[in-house]
């Protein structure tokens, strides 16, 4: 929709893609240091107790709600740091995927690309390793892909100044403390623009482009004909989501889109 309306006025637009990935702007970057401390200080038995308590928090479908962030963060705490990001961001856990496929899933094999990206960074700190993950997988395979499709569908050219090769190389050489400082992401960008932009813009929390699919599934407003013959796992996840027992929106949406695309490709 944004590309459609922009195209009425312009043929070329500037996008901000790359800033969050190169300058540690996403929420998981801020979770890295607390996660390290948590894993160092909290014994496994205590962690399982905390996880059980947090799992009982009421489900909120607000964007990046507290219960969502806590449950997601704890999901990775029993694993190696190189698995944190894929575990935090995946629609389902390896255990749930095993239930869906009716066969065991090896976590490290499942996330082998994420592990490779994490270990590729020449820097030892978690922030730079996470930047490699976001650039190699999230930016390339998700963000830029959908921006290109949405813009080209509306004959709009989107240019990404933050992905200028010289700027990328410069930012990659900077220490992580200029990107994430005291829990504030994109720190250097905020400093560079403080005399150019109003303070309320510089200090504003991140505004995502989230669509309220969680509420849509709960309220039954989405057409689910494509999932009528879906697996028992799908129906279980949908029932738990509608009952407010869990937030399964990421899996439900992914499965719905996949089933719909498959149905259309088969001419149904």
pLDDT digits (tens, 9 = 90+) for 102-114: 999 999 999 999 9
Q: For residues 8 and 156, what is the distance between their CA atoms, to the nearest angstrom?
A: 9
pLDDT of 18 reads 97
Q: For residues 80 and 91, what is the distance between their CA atoms, to the nearest angstrom?
A: 19
Mark out the alpha helices in the chain (DSSP H runs): 2-7, 19-22, 27-41, 44-54, 66-75, 84-89, 94-101, 107-110, 112-120, 126-133, 144-153, 165-173, 187-192, 199-202, 213-219, 232-242, 249-265
pLDDT of 226 reads 63
pLDDT-above-70 percentage for the chain: 97
pLDDT of 228 reads 63
Mean pLDDT of the region 192-218: 88
pLDDT of 5 reads 96
Overall size of the chain counted in residues: 268
* pLDDT of 209 higher than 90: no
pLDDT digits (tens, 9 = 90+) for 228-267: 667 889 999 999 999 999 999 999 999 998 888 888 777 6
pLDDT digits (tens, 9 = 90+) for 88-101: 999 999 999 999 99
pLDDT of 268 reads 58
Query: Residue 82 in contact with residue 130, Cβ under 8 Å?
Result: no
The pTM of this model reads: 0.90
Task: Take residue 83 and report the two structure tokens written for it.
Answer: 């698995």
Mean pLDDT of the region 20-43: 96
Angle at 223 between CA 217 and CA 229, to 5 degrees: 95
CA–chain centroid gap for 243, Å, is: 24
* pLDDT of 213 higher than 70: yes
């Amino acid at each position: 929709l944004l590309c459609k309306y922009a195209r009425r006025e312009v043929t070329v637009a500037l996008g901000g893609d790359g800033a969050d990935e190169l300058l540690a702007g996403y929420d998981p970057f801020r979770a890295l240091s607390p996660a390290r401390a948590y894993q160092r200080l909290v014994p496994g038995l205590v962690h399982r107790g905390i996880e059980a308590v947090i799992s009982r928090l009421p489900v909120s479908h607000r964007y990046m709600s507290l219960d969502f962030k806590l449950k997601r963060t704890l999901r990775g705490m029993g694993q190696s740091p190189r698995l944190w990001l894929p575990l935090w961001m995946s629609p389902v856990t390896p255990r749930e995927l095993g239930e869906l496929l009716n066969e065991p899933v090896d976590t490290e094999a499942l996330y082998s690309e994420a592990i490779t990206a994490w270990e590729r960074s020449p820097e030892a700190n978690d922030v730079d390793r996470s930047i490699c993950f976001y650039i190699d997988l999230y930016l390339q395979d998700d963000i830029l892909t959908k921006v290109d499709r949405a813009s080209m569908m509306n004959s709009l050219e989107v240019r990404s100044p933050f992905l200028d090769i010289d700027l990328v190389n410069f930012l990659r050489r900077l220490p992580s403390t200029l990107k994430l400082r005291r829990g504030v992401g994109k720190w250097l960008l905020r400093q560079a623009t403080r005399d150019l932009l109003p303070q309320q813009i510089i200090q504003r929390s991140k505004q995502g482009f989230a669509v309220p699919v969680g509420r849509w599934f709960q309220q039954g407003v989405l057409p689910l004909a494509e999932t009528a013959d879906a697996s028992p796992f799908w129906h279980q996840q949908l029932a738990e989501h509608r009952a407010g027992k869990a937030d399964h929106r990421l899996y439900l949406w992914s499965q719905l889109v996949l089933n719909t695309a498959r149905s259309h490709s088969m001419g149904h």
